[in-house]
Chain A
Amino acid sequence: MSILIENVEKHFGTYQALDNINLEVKDGSLIALLGPSGSGKSTLLRVIAGLESADSGRIYIDGEHATNLDVRRRNIGFVFQHYALFKHLTIRQNIAFGLEIRKSPKNETKARVEELLDLVQLQGLGDRYPSQLSGGQRQRVALARALAVKPQVLLLDEPFGALDAKVRKELRSWLRRLHDEFHVTSVFVTHDQEEAMEVADDIVIMNQGRIEQIGSPAAVYDNPSSSFVMSFIGPVNVLSRNTKLFKDGHANGGDLFIRPHDIEVLTNENGTAIPATVDRVIHLGWEVQVELLLEDRQLLTAHFGREKFDALNLQPGQSVFVKPKFTKVFGDSLAEPVAEPVAEPVA
């Protein structure tokens, strides 16, 4: 079922949590609300759920005006970061909760619960209590509980946030496969850009209560609409306008943004290339991160594949020449760098 959000605003006291939000979630799609903490992404999700009310604006779920509808009547499934399972109920009773509230016949409830235990691969654990399960299993129970009532919309608030890295990876690819099978319109909140890119059809990037950009993972990565988006999605070098790299005509723009993998390093000068010194070489497995010091002391991080690096065979202290393959300049200036170039392989 589609979700339509029109001009939604929300304040907490004097703090503006949501600023004129307009968003359409197509029927059967899976989208991510991505942003740093305090960007309003969780508030927006809670407003869609009806757990918070919007100060102004309208929300439609499946074409139906839902702005003032109680959370109970919105027919949504909500999954919380910390699972929020009912500790005093067994896994089966947790999953059956919504069905029992709806007074669905006993045998139907029983069948549906077994079906969901199968779906979340927890057969045989139905009579345990939540405290006896691992984090990943608990979150699957939470998902089964939300799905049991066949919600029109599934809303997930940082669903993998409390899990360790390995389980998180497993669970998110599992969630994606689950969605491909059932096509429940889903919105999930995350601050992890890699997670958003891996799972979502479309990413909504939020910052300071506003939507910065909406687009497919590839689109927002390749064509970021603002310096914020470019810095938030993927590693990036931010160089001040005074650098020598600006020789190619961007001198009057804002800061210069270069992805670490868009930097070419040459061992001999070749026309437009800029001199630099290799500062550090960091091996990250199949990828190598090279930190280069420009003549004006600005640091530039470059990523190479192993083969390319071995061919160059760079050593710390070595003098080289740098040639950016692709740079971007935004009209807006970035008050502070949002993301430092990180020693982390690019997804």
Chain B
Amino acid sequence: MATNLELSARLAQAPQRKTPALWQRVSLPWTITVTYLLIMLVLPITALFGKALTVSPAEFWRIATSDIALSAYDVTFFTSLAAGLINGVMGTLVAWVLVRYKFPGRKIVDAAVDLPFALPTAVAGLVLATVYRETGWIGQFFAPFGIKIAFTRLGVLIAMIFISFPFIVRTLQPVLQEMEKEAEEASWSLGATQVQTFFKVILPPLIPAILTGVALGFSRAVGEYGSVILISSSIPFKDLIAPVLVFQRLEAYDYGGATVIGTVLLLISLAMLFVINALQQWGRRYA
């Protein structure tokens, strides 16, 4: 102890070392990370904002809040959110079955979950449009009830569900695999039924992972273009999504209009991701 004290006393007396220059303090991995993010993420987004700023504020507001744009945001964000939530429920179920059930062909099903990632989205859109149109394999069962799927908002929803489905399964699987069976057994031994155990013991720790999956799926659906353009009729005020609207503006050489809507899309997405992130933090408060 005495030597320690002496040592710290001597250290205190030692002349203060000069703080090294900034370039000496930054580490290589840090530099690479920052440069990479700058080139891949920050610059393109800055360019978008820069272009949008060339439009006068009044004009920006007029384009951003035009009826056609508002309707496109509505279709894009609410349909994406619905797709994310539906995947949240169904994806959880699929992940559960893939982790907990043993059945022939499980490995194949497990691998097939990733198909929406690998399939070109245009192919996905084409296939879905074929299957869900009024005479298609699935569409024909809904047509008699007057329910049209392809070329309506419902079709957009189906496409969004399809392309964002793997996210929730893949985020949840490792969490489910790590989950200890003993917590469930403890719950049963304390008198809880299977249903009570599911809602009180199994589900709560999964919420952060489910939210992450929903957030990823939602972001993917907001940005989706290729499959939606094929399954929707892209008629304004009906099933026109914002990304398609951006493209239509570009085709009309209205670059200002395209960037304004693109910027609004970006800001809303960012805000929603922050909210979901906060929810995740809250869901992880006990970790």
Q: Which of these, A78, A102, A131, contacts B186 with CB under 8 Å?
A: A78
Q: Which residues of B contact A71 (CB under 8 A)?
A: 185, 188-189
Q: Mark A69-108, 1 if CB is under 8 A from B, else 0.
A: 0011000111010101111111000000110011000000
**B190 within 8 A of partner (CB):** yes
Q: Which residues of A contact B192 (CB under 8 A)?
A: 72, 97, 101
Question: B193's closest neighbor in chain A, by CB?
Answer: A72
- Chain B contacts of A130 at CB under 8 A? 286
Smallest CB separation, B100 vs chain A (Å): 17
A87 to B180, CA, bound (A): 11
Contacts of B286 in A (CB 8 A): 87-90, 129-131
Cβ contacts under 8 Å, A72 to chain B: 188-189, 191-193
Q: Which residues of B contact A49 (CB under 8 A)?
A: 189
Query: Please, how many angstroms separate the alpha-carbon atoms of A142 and B186 in the complex?
Result: 9
Q: Shortest distance in angstroms between A1's beta carbon and chain B's nearest beta carbon?
A: 16
Residues of A within 8 A of B285 (CB): 129
State A206–B166 Cα separation when bound (angstroms): 48
Select from chain B the residue with minimum beta-carbon distance to A84. Answer: B182
A210 contacts the other chain (CB 8 A): no
| B204-230 near A? 1/0 per residue, CB < 8 Å | 110000000000000000000000000
Give the complex CA separation of A145 and B201 in angstroms: 14
Q: What residues of chain B lie closer than 8 Å to A322, measured between beta carbons?
A: none
Q: Is the CB of B204 within 8 A of A80?
A: no
Inter-subunit contact B190/A145 (CB<8 Å): yes
Q: Which of A51, A98, A131 contacts B185 (CB 8 A)?
A: A51
Question: Which of A49, A89, A101, A131 is packed against the most chain B CB atoms within 10 Å?
Answer: A101
A203 on interface, CB distance cutoff 8 Å: no
Bound-complex Cα distance A90 to B285 (A): 11
Closest A residue to B203 by beta carbon equals: A88
Q: CB distance B204 to A88 under 8 Å?
A: yes
- Asked whether, in the complex, the Cβ of B185 is within 8 Å of the Cβ of A97, the reply is no
Contacts A87-B286, A129-B286; is A98 near B191 (CB within 8 Å)?
yes
Q: For the complex, what is the distance from the CA of A49 to the CA of B188, rounded to whole Å?
A: 10
Cα–Cα distance between A292 and B68 once the two chains are bound (Å): 96
Check: B177 CB closer than 8 A to any chain A CB. no
Does B187 reach chain A (CB closer than 8 Å)?
yes
List, in ascending order, chain A residues with CB within 8 A of B180's CB: 82, 84
Q: Are A101 and B190 in contact (CB under 8 A)?
A: yes
- Could you tell me if B205 and A149 are in contact, using CB atoms closer than 8 angstroms? no
A101 to B185, CA, bound (A): 14
Determine if B201 and A86 form an interchain contact, defined as CB atoms under 8 angstroms apart: yes
User: Per a CB cutoff under 8 Å, which of B182, B193, B200 touches A80?
Assistant: B182
Residue in contact with A102 in the complex, picked from B185, B191, B200, B205, CB distance below 8 Å: B191
A279 CB to closest chain B CB (Å) equals 42
Contacts of A98 in B (CB 8 A): 190-191
Looking at A49, A76, A84, the one whose CB has the most chain B CB atoms below 10 A away is A84
23 of the cross-chain contacts (CB-CB < 8 Å) are A51-B185, A71-B185, A72-B188, A72-B189, A72-B191, A72-B192, A77-B189, A78-B185, A78-B186, A78-B189, A80-B185, A80-B186, A84-B180, A84-B185, A86-B186, A86-B200, A88-B286, A89-B286, A97-B190, A101-B190, A102-B191, A146-B189, A149-B190
A interface, CB within 8 angstroms of B: 49, 51, 71-72, 76-78, 80, 82, 84-90, 97-98, 101-102, 129-131, 142, 145-146, 149
In the complex, given contacts A78-B189, A84-B183, what are 12 additional A-B residue pairs having Cβ atoms less than 8 angstroms apart? Answer: A78-B185, A80-B182, A84-B185, A86-B187, A86-B200, A88-B205, A89-B286, A97-B187, A131-B286, A131-B287, A149-B190, A149-B191
Q: A-B pairs with the 8 shortest C-beta distances?
A: A98-B190, A84-B182, A129-B286, A78-B189, A88-B204, A84-B186, A101-B191, A80-B182
